[in-house]
């Protein structure tokens, strides 16, 4: 029997390969139309990234998606469930396929194994919430931005997921409004921290006591 992340790959449950996504407002959203468990995992992950404000951002990653689908299927369609105790920890095919993104290094847990930078940024944005943020001064933001542009961790975050990229851009406008620095064109994502530098340089946040950050990092305590 062919098995995918604890589920029988060739056993189609009633109503096809689908998943009921719980939303923060108490409602649910049915994700369907996939032709396999692997395809369904991609659909669920894409939905969570695109609708990050509606779901738990902590579960918008490949491993949690695979586990949530497995738990849902085993609870509702036991004939499709092969192994209820199967654990997807940095080994799912979904995670490996996303590891190709510049935001994740599969050999280094420091960068959150198999999780692309765009997804980490989406989670970060989700955790920021909808409340107005305290900003630093334009002079300080410009100084920080200049530091980021020369940092090796300042890397491309965009992927081929158009809606995912658009979501980050829309959140950037929502949070920053018309705020700009002289270095915006060269501000990318921070592969070390997992945020979008263009937004982060403006936020009045506490520094991190993390010795693994570069010595010149403005966010290092």
Question: What pLDDT, in 10s, does the model give residues 5-44?
Answer: 889 988 898 889 999 999 999 999 999 999 999 999 999 9
pLDDT score for 100: 41
Whether 119 and 33 map to the same domain: the answer is no
Which residue has better confidence, 135 or 85? 135
Question: Distance (Å, rounded) from C-alpha 77 to C-alpha 169?
Answer: 39
Whether 109 and 218 map to the same domain: the answer is yes
Whether 123 and 183 map to the same domain: the answer is yes
Last residue of a domain, one of 35, 64, 98: 98
Whether 94 and 150 map to the same domain: the answer is no
- H helices of the chain, where? 37-50, 62-76, 93-98, 117-128, 138-149, 162-176, 197-200
Which candidate, 1, 173, 198, 188, places its Cα nearest to that of 81? 1
Q: What is the DSSP letter of 29?
A: E
Whether 79 and 119 map to the same domain: the answer is no
Question: Distance (Å, rounded) from C-alpha 169 to C-alpha 146?
Answer: 21
pLDDT score for 85: 57
Which candidate, 218, 171, 219, 158, places its Cα nearest to that of 199? 171
pLDDT score for 123: 86
Which residue has better confidence, 149 or 112? 149
Question: Distance (Å, rounded) from C-alpha 49 to C-alpha 89?
Answer: 20
Question: Distance (Å, rounded) from C-alpha 61 to C-alpha 167?
Answer: 16
Confidence of residue 201 (pLDDT cuts 50, 70, 90): very high
pLDDT above 50 (res 95): no
pLDDT score for 62: 84
**What's the total number of domains in the chain?**
2
Cβ pair 38, 93 in contact under 8 A? yes
Last residue of a domain, one of 49, 67, 98: 98
Question: Distance (Å, rounded) from C-alpha 25 to C-alpha 106?
Answer: 34
pTM above 0.85, yes or no: no
Question: Distance (Å, rounded) from C-alpha 194 to C-alpha 190?
Answer: 5
pLDDT score for 173: 92
Question: Distance (Å, rounded) from C-alpha 112 to C-alpha 61?
Answer: 10
Whether 132 and 221 map to the same domain: the answer is yes
> What is the chain's mean pLDDT, rounded?
84
Which residue has better confidence, 101 or 192? 192
Whether 191 and 123 map to the same domain: the answer is yes
Question: Distance (Å, rounded) from C-alpha 110 to C-alpha 112?
Answer: 6
How crowded is residue 59: how many other Cβ atoms within 10 Å of its Cβ?
17
pLDDT score for 1: 64
pLDDT above 60 (res 97): no
Cβ pair 136, 202 in contact under 8 A? yes
13: which 2 tokens?
């449950």
Identify the helix (H) or strand (E) that includes residue 155.
strand 154-155
Last residue of a domain, one of 47, 75, 98: 98
Q: Average pLDDT, stretch 87-111? A: 42
Whether 81 and 147 map to the same domain: the answer is no
pLDDT score for 86: 54
Q: Average pLDDT, stretch 198-218? A: 91
Whether 89 and 191 map to the same domain: the answer is no
Whether 133 and 85 map to the same domain: the answer is no
Whether 64 and 140 map to the same domain: the answer is no
pLDDT above 90 (res 138): yes
Q: Which domain holds residue 82?
A: 3-98
pLDDT above 60 (res 135): yes
Whether 70 and 148 map to the same domain: the answer is no
Question: Distance (Å, rounded) from C-alpha 69 to C-alpha 21?
Answer: 9
């Amino acid at each position: 029997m062919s098995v995918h992340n604890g589920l029988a790959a060739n056993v189609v449950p009633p109503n096809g390969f689908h998943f009921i996504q719980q939303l923060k407002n108490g409602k649910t959203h049915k994700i369907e139309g996939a032709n396999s468990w692997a395809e369904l995992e991609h659909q669920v992950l894409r939905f969570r990234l695109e609708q990050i404000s509606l779901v738990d951002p902590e579960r918008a990653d490949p491993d949690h998606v695979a586990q949530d689908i497995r738990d849902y299927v085993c609870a509702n369609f036991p004939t499709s469930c092969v192994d209820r105790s199967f654990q997807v920890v940095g080994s799912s095919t979904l995670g490996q396929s996303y590891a190709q993104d510049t935001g994740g290094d599969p050999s280094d847990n420091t960068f959150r194994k198999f999780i692309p930078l765009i997804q980490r940024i989406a989670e970060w944005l989700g955790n920021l919430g909808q409340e107005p943020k305290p900003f630093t001064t334009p002079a300080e933001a410009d100084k920080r931005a200049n530091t980021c542009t020369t940092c090796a961790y300042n890397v491309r975050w965009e992927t081929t997921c158009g809606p995912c990229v658009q979501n980050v851009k829309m959140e950037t406008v929502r949070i920053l409004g018309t705020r700009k620095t002289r270095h915006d064109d060269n501000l990318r994502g921070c592969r070390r921290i997992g945020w979008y530098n263009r937004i982060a340089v403006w936020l009045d946040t506490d520094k991190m006591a993390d010795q693994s950050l570069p010595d010149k990092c403005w966010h290092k305590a």
